[in-house]
Structure 1
């Protein structure tokens, strides 16, 4: 049972909004607290505010969510009393019923107390209206309040609505927080649902058509009926009926108002309204159940973006690329310049070099450095004309490449960096080996960037962008452009490097130069001595795997030389480098220096210098004795040098063995044995051979032939059956096989006027290793047997071919005279092949006997 009590209505009497003893105010009154009770004049003037008020809250009487009204009572809804945009406070988990009232109390003050919600509500109801307000229920999230009133006999609720709305039109009231919207009032004709759920107003309403009582059937109202019911509350933008084939119950329709305030007024006034039969509600009537519905396409910009991926994704890719170029390219160019001119290299720092010079007499590393210089001095003296030639080329203007070619171990890198470019600051070394051996595009990009100092580099973005591009291609059917090929990304790295190289070259330009007025290109052409030097090491390393890296490098190098930006020096082991470089500079003649093995005299002196470099023993007179002075077997060194050759790596290996106490002959014998084991494992054995481009039979043919002769004719090898008719699919092309074996350094191919001329062992020591391998009777028998077996198969195929053609000719009904020479030719071929097979069979029998008898 509800408790009733008569009170003077004032804002502090509203439940949950009473002022506390510390003089706080509810949201209806933000001004200073007034004493309870009204003055007599006020009571006489506003006696309608005195009445019976039941205990109720924002969610209805006894928190039921509904408002009960008697026959002589009505309910008006006033909107725009509270700031509608503050309904988000209701979402906060720490909110209580006084949160918004406290916020408005802090915001308002005495100066604007006339604009507080309660004052606005009092002003909205004319004093002359003969009604008695009995209850006020604020709706914070709807921005308004329900006002229950009693009206006397002879007056209807509809008339009261008309009087209030007419009064508001004549005396418009505008709240302080919404200066362009006036307070409006409408009569509640339905049964409003006062819920405090997290459902907030929107311009779209969902109107459900439900029966007036359970078990009955409701009618689906037409758009015309809905328009006639709701148009009074404001401009209707759209009415969307439920699809005719929809099975969703209850039936519903969407109604969009032009403004959110109009939708709030309609929802609070029409919820629960019963549409009678004469109004189109069906025989039993239809009740309207209203709720706010968030529009699915509220964010039209976002929806448009997601609806047009063919336009948006390429545009975003272009914007990202533009930002990347504008922001990161200058940073990357700066780091590349620092890498080229060695600005951050510690060894080039003056302070570091001073401390190093002061410590040369204390630490032993200086002695080792001097020893290395003494050891190599003999070689550099022998190659002095090459060093002078290189330095002369670097002072000339020539838009072509400088190529330093030589086998591994010939000292190409040391020749360039320690001698040819000694004392030159602006040098850039690019090692192709880590770039080519990198696995995957990401690792390749990282290796290329590290070689030139290109940073920051986001190589990991390559994988992510590839996934985005793949997803976009599956969605829109075309690539988005986010991901880039390895070719394009390497091109960016080289392009930034070229920019940095040009800036480094132009940094040497001074305003005091007599040719300062020249353009940048003309000045670079006139001053080749100021151009930086780019050294590309290990060019064509593992060239058989992929040529993308080498193609980009050669094209970039060609652009540097033709634009007079830098001198480019290639260091390569491959004798066929001209095929790759000619693609980039087809109309140029390359400047070439071939570094082969050193002469026997220089080789002997090189080994002796190694032995003299570090003293081992000390005499009683404190005289240091070197290995050379201590040894008595160095007379064998001449013979050993002839066998070992002039390869620097092999000579260093020999010197280290001599330091351990071995005799020269024993040391060379072990080097030969080790080389023979490497040849057998890398070229002859079929176990774990990987992706070889040659067959073991072809490698053995060369080993056996070179063991008998120091050099072989190139074309003679190609015409042999082992190379011309190999049964291995990967080794069917004889020239490719020889190039692969040359790249693997089993052999070396000598040229004459650009064409291959002869074939020699890859290293001088290999010549002795070949003889050692052919001296192994069991190994020779096994590999010879493999060659004869392959040759027998080749001739057997030829015999089958001859017999097939003879059968075809013999099947002719008549034997023309012209067929006779062809038949005789085939018979001679058949006899020759058969003779070869028979001879090989005898040899194979002897070889099998050796294999069965020997270990």
Structure 2
């Protein structure tokens, strides 16, 4: 029977134990105050802390008197709270009287751990509780008790175990496991270290006394000791050749609470195995069980296989998840789904307010373009008719910059047509780095989302993997593969766009998708590739891939493709993609003087007509203003000015704008020519001082063409190649005359006209340059400076010729005897030497005159 009077003894300190007040606070929330604190009548008073010690030392072990025993009660606290509450400074209740009084209190709640402990010890069991030491970390408590002399502690444990089996006590937090007990046979160690319970126990075999060595226990003995506490999964003994001391073994329990019971009951237990001379003490501790990671081990041991597989998986995931999204955005970009100007509300608002919001500038420009397009109506009709037929080839619109190619195609040929994709190659080629190129290309086709920045990171990962494993992972993609991927997604979206207008008629529903697209060319999407071969010497791979992609579109009948280019050598690039097709070529040249005049007048006419509608009193208010009659008199000069300016569309637009602000035609044309001359001087004649080495032409070659074209307007191509400046240039990179002419043509200083496929004549890059060349020649200082540089190069060329002749003559004269056969060669070389020397003397004489001009005249 449990005595009504409980002896008071100090409780051992455990950093993971819990005070009775805290235990009651957790188990019975109804006892908390309004702020979550214990009421004043329940809150214990603070007293000096005392711990249960062994032999007067604070070792953390539980001491028991000769007439006392210790029993461990399991499953009183939840183990899930251990990782959280182990960092809190839980202490045993300083007022142990309150803890023991709570044990005797019959009015405790059913959730209180003390209630569970009281229910687990019936009154009929002959034991008297003298001390309770809760162990929150282990989910139980040590109970120190006394018992009569005529009954042993083992018998009390057996009787109490039978009672708990017949009348189990199950806590609220673990209804599937009842409270278990175990008699403590060793000396428990109440440590407050961060060692959470585990299912594996490390059993160390230490000597019972310092005078005797320790003896390692067999697995049979360990099994007989630990099996009573629960199911054992495995017993692992230390290898015989291991030198780790003390010797140990691992005991793996199926349940963590079984390992807790065994650890608290057998720690410090001393026994002597049968047949052994020395006793052994067991020192137990929790050990983290190392789980076998077969899959991870296989991954880490085979990186050459796994890393490419991961790359393939990521690529497949990207295709499955992102490609449909990107295809949708490309389709929306082509069909302009999200553009506000394409909505019905905007169209209605524009129709209602078109007269109010119309600006004169827009009217004038529109009228001027209409006049131009009226002149080019035949070309417009030809291209439009080509889009209604299955031709399986490209439409190439070629013309110099400023000839109105983009306006002709987008504003006239494709006016009102849906499903048009415009790709401008200029921002793509001018983008910095591969990431910038990919981003610009994606923006042009509406391809999103695009992770251009991820390629740099993938390249670093690839480099790291290759340096460690010796194999390339394949995470990163080069520029070519990413461009092809974007264009393939765009082609798939264009096919869906072309098929979106398919009508379910009896005739069409029997056709396959390819047959339908072939039968209805008018419903295909149109792809306009602008600025094709812009800076053709840079990023040529972009143009090659775009050309191949365009060829696939027209051959598969997915879309019509129109190229807009300034480069006359476009056939070299496009013929690689469609070698067996003849392109539908349209060449836009400069306007004739009559059409150019009509264009300028059309730009001015809407503004004049609007002024006519204004009140005539407004002109009287401003007597200094230009009247219409005066303006018409100024326009009489337009015929002469148009001939000087030429028929380039951009120059005519500049002229019209200058006339609108009140300038006379002569003054406007003079300023345009002056601006062109300054542009030529800056870009072609004075830029060698910057140290540029990537040019394929020299300043002397550019000046030679300017001089000759200013005098003759047209030069023979082969005649220019024979000139010393092109045939034997001393400038690095400009030695090849044909390359120099081609580079100057791409820079638009000159235009090369072809006949039957081969270059024939060379003219100014645009009509206004012809007048600008003449303006430069008339400038004495510029002409003297450029002629001096040109003559200097010619003198260098002749000096090189003399050096070669002298070298050969010295070789001939070094022969021991002068053979008769060398006489003609020596005479030829002497004549060539004399001719070169005379040229040099003439050049130097002319250079002297030019130096006088430069020293006397001012720029």
What's the TM-score once normalised by structure 2's chain length?
A: 0.80
The structure-2 alpha-carbon separation of the partners of 1:131 and 1:372, relative to structure 1 and needing over 3 Å to count, comes to closer
Deviation of 1:723 (Å): 2.5
Aligned to 2:486: 493
**Equivalent residues in 2 for 1:415-430, closer than 5 Å:** 415-430=408-423
Deviation of 1:372 (Å): 3.0
Aligned partners of 1:164, 1:794: CA distance in 2, in Å?
122
The structure-2 alpha-carbon separation of the partners of 1:300 and 1:291, relative to structure 1 and needing over 3 Å to count, comes to farther
Aligned to 2:62: 67
Q: Which of 774, 777, 780 does residue 777 from structure 1 map onto?
A: 780
Aligned partners of 2:507, 2:732: CA distance in 1, in Å?
66
Deviation of 1:833 (Å): 4.1
Asked whether 1:202 is paired with 2:198, we answer yes
Aligned to 2:6: 7
- Give CA-to-partner distance per residue, 1:400-458, whole Å, 9 cap, x none: 11011111111111111111112212212112222222223333333222222223333
Q: Secondary structure at the match of 2:636?
A: helix
Deviation of 1:719 (Å): 3.3
- Give CA-to-partner distance per residue, 1:502-525, whole Å, 9 cap, x none: 112112221125243111101111
Aligned to 1:47: none
**Equivalent residues in 2 for 1:361-440, closer than 5 Å:** 361-365=355-359, 368-440=361-433
Q: Which of 552, 565, 580 does residue 559 from structure 1 map onto?
A: 552
Asked whether 1:750 is paired with 2:753, we answer yes
The structure-2 alpha-carbon separation of the partners of 1:821 and 1:547, relative to structure 1 and needing over 3 Å to count, comes to same
**Equivalent residues in 2 for 1:637-716, closer than 5 Å:** 637-685=638-686, 686-688=688-690, 690=692, 691-716=694-719
Q: Which of 581, 585, 605 does residue 588 from structure 1 map onto?
A: 581
- Report if aligned partners of 1:161, 1:187 keep a CA contact under 8 Å in 2: no
Asked whether 1:90 is paired with 2:89, we answer no
- Report if aligned partners of 1:781, 1:850 keep a CA contact under 8 Å in 2: yes
- Report if aligned partners of 2:591, 2:648 keep a CA contact under 8 Å in 1: yes
- Give CA-to-partner distance per residue, 1:708-731, whole Å, 9 cap, x none: 221222233233332333333333
The worse-fitting range, judged by mean Cα deviation, of 501-510 and 56-65 is: 56-65
Q: Secondary structure at the match of 1:751?
A: strand
Aligned to 1:118: 117
The structure-2 alpha-carbon separation of the partners of 1:572 and 1:160, relative to structure 1 and needing over 3 Å to count, comes to same
Q: Which of 522, 525, 531 does residue 529 from structure 1 map onto?
A: 522
Aligned partners of 1:226, 1:798: CA distance in 2, in Å?
104
- Give CA-to-partner distance per residue, 1:542-576, whole Å, 9 cap, x none: 22221232222212111111110111101111111
Deviation of 1:701 (Å): 1.8
- Give CA-to-partner distance per residue, 1:161-193, whole Å, 9 cap, x none: 996899799989796777998987666454322
The worse-fitting range, judged by mean Cα deviation, of 815-824 and 450-459 is: 815-824
Aligned partners of 1:134, 1:217: CA distance in 2, in Å?
36
Deviation of 1:150 (Å): 5.0
- Report if aligned partners of 2:673, 2:768 keep a CA contact under 8 Å in 1: yes
Deviation of 1:316 (Å): 3.8
Aligned to 1:459: 452
Q: Secondary structure at the match of 1:632?
A: helix
The structure-2 alpha-carbon separation of the partners of 1:77 and 1:835, relative to structure 1 and needing over 3 Å to count, comes to farther
- Report if aligned partners of 2:52, 2:62 keep a CA contact under 8 Å in 1: no
**Equivalent residues in 2 for 1:499-648, closer than 5 Å:** 499-615=492-608, 620=616, 627=628, 630-648=631-649
Unaligned runs of 5+ in 1: 27-54, 103-107
Deviation of 1:665 (Å): 2.2
Deviation of 1:766 (Å): 0.5
Aligned to 2:35: none
Q: Secondary structure at the match of 2:581?
A: coil
Q: Secondary structure at the match of 1:523?
A: helix
- Report if aligned partners of 1:15, 1:57 keep a CA contact under 8 Å in 2: no
Question: What is the RMSD of the two structures over their aligned residues, measured on CA atoms?
Answer: 4.7
Task: Figure out how many residues of one structure are paired with residues of the other and give that number.
Answer: 800
- Report if aligned partners of 1:168, 1:184 keep a CA contact under 8 Å in 2: no
Aligned partners of 1:343, 1:626: CA distance in 2, in Å?
49
Unaligned runs of 5+ in 2: 9-16, 30-48, 94-98, 103-107, 227-231, 621-625
The structure-2 alpha-carbon separation of the partners of 1:746 and 1:162, relative to structure 1 and needing over 3 Å to count, comes to same
- Report if aligned partners of 1:161, 1:185 keep a CA contact under 8 Å in 2: no
Deviation of 1:263 (Å): 4.4
The structure-2 alpha-carbon separation of the partners of 1:8 and 1:301, relative to structure 1 and needing over 3 Å to count, comes to farther
Asked whether 1:343 is paired with 2:337, we answer yes
**Equivalent residues in 2 for 1:764-843, closer than 5 Å:** 764-807=767-810, 829-843=832-846
The worse-fitting range, judged by mean Cα deviation, of 331-340 and 835-844 is: 835-844
- Report if aligned partners of 2:6, 2:129 keep a CA contact under 8 Å in 1: no
Q: Secondary structure at the match of 1:544?
A: coil
- Report if aligned partners of 2:398, 2:564 keep a CA contact under 8 Å in 1: yes
- Report if aligned partners of 2:120, 2:164 keep a CA contact under 8 Å in 1: no
The structure-2 alpha-carbon separation of the partners of 1:243 and 1:551, relative to structure 1 and needing over 3 Å to count, comes to farther
Aligned to 1:722: 725
Q: Which of 739, 743, 751 does residue 736 from structure 1 map onto?
A: 739
Aligned partners of 2:52, 2:312: CA distance in 1, in Å?
55
- Report if aligned partners of 2:237, 2:250 keep a CA contact under 8 Å in 1: yes
**Equivalent residues in 2 for 1:158-197, closer than 5 Å:** 188=184, 190-197=186-193
Aligned partners of 2:436, 2:212: CA distance in 1, in Å?
70
Aligned partners of 1:800, 1:540: CA distance in 2, in Å?
43
- Report if aligned partners of 1:223, 1:239 keep a CA contact under 8 Å in 2: no
Q: Which of 841, 847, 851 does residue 850 from structure 2 map onto?
A: 847
Aligned partners of 2:124, 2:218: CA distance in 1, in Å?
34
- Give CA-to-partner distance per residue, 1:127-148, whole Å, 9 cap, x none: 6xx8766444343322444344
- Report if aligned partners of 2:323, 2:489 keep a CA contact under 8 Å in 1: yes
The worse-fitting range, judged by mean Cα deviation, of 583-592 and 401-410 is: 583-592
Q: Secondary structure at the match of 2:637?
A: helix
The structure-2 alpha-carbon separation of the partners of 1:288 and 1:789, relative to structure 1 and needing over 3 Å to count, comes to farther
Q: Secondary structure at the match of 2:396?
A: strand
The worse-fitting range, judged by mean Cα deviation, of 727-736 and 740-749 is: 727-736
The structure-2 alpha-carbon separation of the partners of 1:706 and 1:23, relative to structure 1 and needing over 3 Å to count, comes to closer
The structure-2 alpha-carbon separation of the partners of 1:719 and 1:185, relative to structure 1 and needing over 3 Å to count, comes to farther
Aligned partners of 2:80, 2:745: CA distance in 1, in Å?
81
- Report if aligned partners of 2:202, 2:285 keep a CA contact under 8 Å in 1: yes
Q: Secondary structure at the match of 2:600?
A: helix
- Report if aligned partners of 1:473, 1:479 keep a CA contact under 8 Å in 2: yes
The structure-2 alpha-carbon separation of the partners of 1:304 and 1:109, relative to structure 1 and needing over 3 Å to count, comes to farther
Q: Secondary structure at the match of 1:593?
A: strand
The structure-2 alpha-carbon separation of the partners of 1:677 and 1:89, relative to structure 1 and needing over 3 Å to count, comes to closer
Deviation of 1:63 (Å): 8.8
Aligned to 2:40: none
The structure-2 alpha-carbon separation of the partners of 1:15 and 1:537, relative to structure 1 and needing over 3 Å to count, comes to closer
The structure-2 alpha-carbon separation of the partners of 1:136 and 1:660, relative to structure 1 and needing over 3 Å to count, comes to closer
Q: Secondary structure at the match of 1:729?
A: coil
The structure-2 alpha-carbon separation of the partners of 1:7 and 1:191, relative to structure 1 and needing over 3 Å to count, comes to closer
Aligned partners of 1:782, 1:666: CA distance in 2, in Å?
28
- Report if aligned partners of 1:554, 1:581 keep a CA contact under 8 Å in 2: yes
Q: Secondary structure at the match of 1:391?
A: helix
Q: Secondary structure at the match of 1:354?
A: helix
The structure-2 alpha-carbon separation of the partners of 1:80 and 1:816, relative to structure 1 and needing over 3 Å to count, comes to farther
